[in-house]
Structure 1
Amino acid sequence: MSDHSAAFVPAPHQQAWDRVSPADAGFDSARLQAAVAFAQAHESPWPRSLYWPDGAYVGNREWNESGPWTEIVGPVAERGGPAGLILKGGRIVAEWGDTARTDMTFSIAKSYLSVLAGVAFDDGLIGDVDAPVGATIDDPHFSGPHNGKVTWRHLLQQSSEWQGEIFGKSDQVDHNRQIGPRADNSRKGQRRELKAPGSFYEYNDVRVNVLGYALLKVFGRPLPEVLRERIMDPIGASRDWRWQGYSTSFVEIDGQRVQSVPGGGHWGGGLFIGARDHARFGLLVARKGEWNGRQLVSRGWIERSLTPSPTLPNYGYLWWLAARPGVPAGSFSALGAGTNVIWADPEQDIVAVLRWIDGASSDGFVDRLLAARV
């Protein structure tokens, strides 16, 4: 859909969310139910406690993490079971599990940071994404011959090659990191020679946390407050979600002690949120930042966020883009370990949220969802 000015949006939280039958939404009911059953049958192998029986945190085991930066410094909460929902035209066409449950969501938080960067840009707090961050923020984290060249775009596309330590975590912890099912992280954490900022993609949670810190400095107040005021309350989200940082991530802003929040749950903390709130957020982005006639984040920012990066064609501004045959070219997703997914096809006005599916099965769900269309 190219024009969402009159598109349906769900009523605010605690009011009934309109539903539509699979047939009326353009789906084969049996095939759609098969997609839901597939998601339910392929639960994440992670323990519900998020700690393995030997006491290892799931993230440390998942990413083969050892050494000086493994300490869990943010809160961790037991996860729920498989859950999710599918929207067509903003209405619920399928729903399963506890979609209101507030759970950790890991790196989906990165995509929320992307939208907050858009709010800062729209407000004029970031004048040029290609300007060095240090030109906006007078801070030692963004100074010197290397980090002084890091731009906002580099941070948003994970190509910054920022070097240093923040909140007790070094960028080296994610050197040589790979992501996705069957990723080889045998060399993760081994220092490598850095390249010029903007020239090399690396999925690096420390550098994303640097972006969160930079946005905190730009807004001058906690990012969860900004997100609630500018995005989540206007789209009718619940009041149950929370975004928590580390015991080590408090900084002083205008004489106030404020917590910087991370782009995931790598060391605990991050965004704790329910599937229904994720669905609203995904719908907002799929509709180019518009909600019920209001432009909450500019259309131009969303379009740039979903544009392929020069260093990784299936990555935008902290959003994953369509990267394999058989999926709509304009589809995109937010992904978090565990596995948690917001998947959207703007052309068909479809949004799906998955909580705690086996990561190797997420493509299988999307394939079944697409096969259910008639």
Structure 2
Amino acid sequence: MHQEKIKELEKTINSDYSNITGIVMQKNGMKSYENYFNGYTADNAVHVYSVTKSVFSVLVGIAIDKGYIKSVDRKVLDFFPDYTVQTGEKTIQGVAIKNLLTMTAPYKYKTEPYEKFFASRNPIQDALDLLGGDGAVGEFNYSAIGGTHILSGILVRATGQSILDFARENLFLPLGINVPHNVVLRNKEEHIAVMNNKNTSGWAVDAQGINTASWGLFLTPSEMAKIGQLYLNGGMWDGKQIVSAGWIAESTSEHSRCVQWGNLAYGYLWWIIDGDSYAALGDGGNVIYVNTKKKIVVSIASLFMPDAKDRIGLIKEYIEPIFDF
């Protein structure tokens, strides 16, 4: 590697990306660079925000591979037979799992009520109540919290296990990822306190004890890189097929497009960067980046800050050139 490019990268991180806590870079499955910032070490997990969504996509794929869920075309309400559809509400009946994965489900709001979900005693019920409305099924409509969390309810009902138990058995333990316990957040103060606490680890649960699909997972940069490497490997890990290559290909192909945020293509809870690369992206600048052509995986863990500078720009301009040798 070119040490000068490494120095330039670290200078740029310190000046323009000061909330980064750790970076891991891998090529051809081998770790090429690893460094930590802001007092963090390799052992400190970080709340990865919406990177959780992409990890959850892996779990949905595993559940489909194992036959717990027949296909992404199954209707959402098939998993909630006890749910009462409101009088005159028809749109919700046409919403499939695929619409939740591709952010193409309609909702009965213009601005997502984050606070409502965080304070709710039953956020899956509330999310179902807000699903549907006058919008069209199939149009991109990003749901940061509630819509994706419906997938948690589906996975629990389909597998008969808690999310964390299913994830441990089928993904975390095989890859050597340590998510030790649930993170219970009883109020707004606790929520804020754990988000930038480097001693927190685990996975947040809602008031019903269900792990959150859209946020709430704490991972180290090395653990994030393992998810990326799993995808680059076509779902294989230590000679075992963890998730099917078919699911990986399908979930990292364009199914919808987000015009308002840089006209980015979207797969199944993965962002499609270009023809060779895709990424899991979370608030604050948390990233799992995979370049299939160059066989590169980059993970970046970051503390939350509003309007964090784009990490894909950092990767394309400063990190990928390090591998051009």
- TM range, normalised to the smaller chain? 0.7 to 0.9
Partner AA of 2:68 in structure 1: L
- 2:169 matches 1:229: yes
Partner AA of 1:158 in structure 2: M
- 2:165 matches 1:216: no
8 Å Cα contact 1:162-1:197 kept in structure 2: no
Match of 2:197 in 1: none
SS at match of 1:82: strand
User: How has the CA–CA distance of structure 1 residues 160 and 193 changed in structure 2, closer, same or farther, with 3 Å as cutoff?
Assistant: closer
Matches within 5 A, 1:200-279: 200-238=140-178, 240=180, 241-246=201-206, 248=207, 250=208, 259-265=209-215, 270-279=216-225
Which residue, 34, 59, 75 being the options, matches 2:8?
A: 34
Match of 1:85 in 2: 24
8 Å Cα contact 2:252-2:268 kept in structure 1: yes
8 Å Cα contact 2:102-2:140 kept in structure 1: no
- 2:133 matches 1:159: no
User: How has the CA–CA distance of structure 1 residues 152 and 229 changed in structure 2, closer, same or farther, with 3 Å as cutoff?
Assistant: same
Match of 2:192 in 1: none
Partner AA of 2:29 in structure 1: G
- 2:67 matches 1:124: yes
8 Å Cα contact 2:91-2:133 kept in structure 1: no
- 2:270 matches 1:319: yes
Which residue, 105, 109, 117 being the options, matches 2:52?
A: 109
Q: Report the RMSD for the aligned CA atoms in angstroms.
A: 2.8
CA distance in 2, matches of 1:147, 1:159: 12
Task: After superposition, give the CA deviation of every residue in 1:219-255 in whole Å (9 maximum; x if it has no partner).
Answer: 1111111111111111122355521213x2x1xxxxx
Partner AA of 1:215 in structure 2: L
What displacement does 1:332 show? 0.8
Which residue, 118, 135, 160 being the options, matches 2:78?
A: 135
What displacement does 1:136 show? 4.4
TM-score (norm 2): 0.76
TM-score (norm 1): 0.67
CA distance in 2, matches of 1:150, 1:134: 8
What displacement does 1:277 show? 0.9
SS at match of 1:199: coil
8 Å Cα contact 2:91-2:134 kept in structure 1: no
SS at match of 1:160: coil
CA distance in 2, matches of 1:361, 1:200: 21
SS at match of 1:283: helix
Match of 2:313 in 1: 364
User: How has the CA–CA distance of structure 1 residues 103 and 341 changed in structure 2, closer, same or farther, with 3 Å as cutoff?
Assistant: same
Task: After superposition, give the CA deviation of every residue in 1:276-299 in whole Å (9 maximum; x if it has no partner).
Answer: 111111110122211122110011
Match of 2:237 in 1: 291
What displacement does 1:135 show? 2.9
Which residue, 331, 337, 343 being the options, matches 2:283?
A: 337
What displacement does 1:162 show? 4.6
8 Å Cα contact 2:48-2:218 kept in structure 1: yes
SS at match of 2:287: strand
What displacement does 1:142 show? 7.7
Unaligned runs of 5+ in 1: 1-21, 23-27, 46-80, 176-191, 251-258, 324-328
8 Å Cα contact 1:158-1:203 kept in structure 2: yes
CA distance in 2, matches of 1:202, 1:279: 25
Task: After superposition, give the CA deviation of every residue in 1:189-236 in whole Å (9 maximum; x if it has no partner).
Answer: xxx963122233323311011112211111111111111111111112
What displacement does 1:139 show? 4.0
Task: After superposition, give the CA deviation of every residue in 1:141-180 in whole Å (9 maximum; x if it has no partner).
Answer: 78852222110100100111255986455559x99xxxxx
8 Å Cα contact 1:107-1:336 kept in structure 2: yes
- Alignment length (residue pairs): 277
Q: What is the percentage of aligned positions where both structures have the same residue?
A: 24
8 Å Cα contact 1:137-1:218 kept in structure 2: no
Task: After superposition, give the CA deviation of every residue in 1:29-48 in whole Å (9 maximum; x if it has no partner).
Answer: 32144224423433356xxx
SS at match of 2:265: coil
8 Å Cα contact 1:42-1:361 kept in structure 2: no
8 Å Cα contact 1:150-1:162 kept in structure 2: no
8 Å Cα contact 1:89-1:350 kept in structure 2: yes
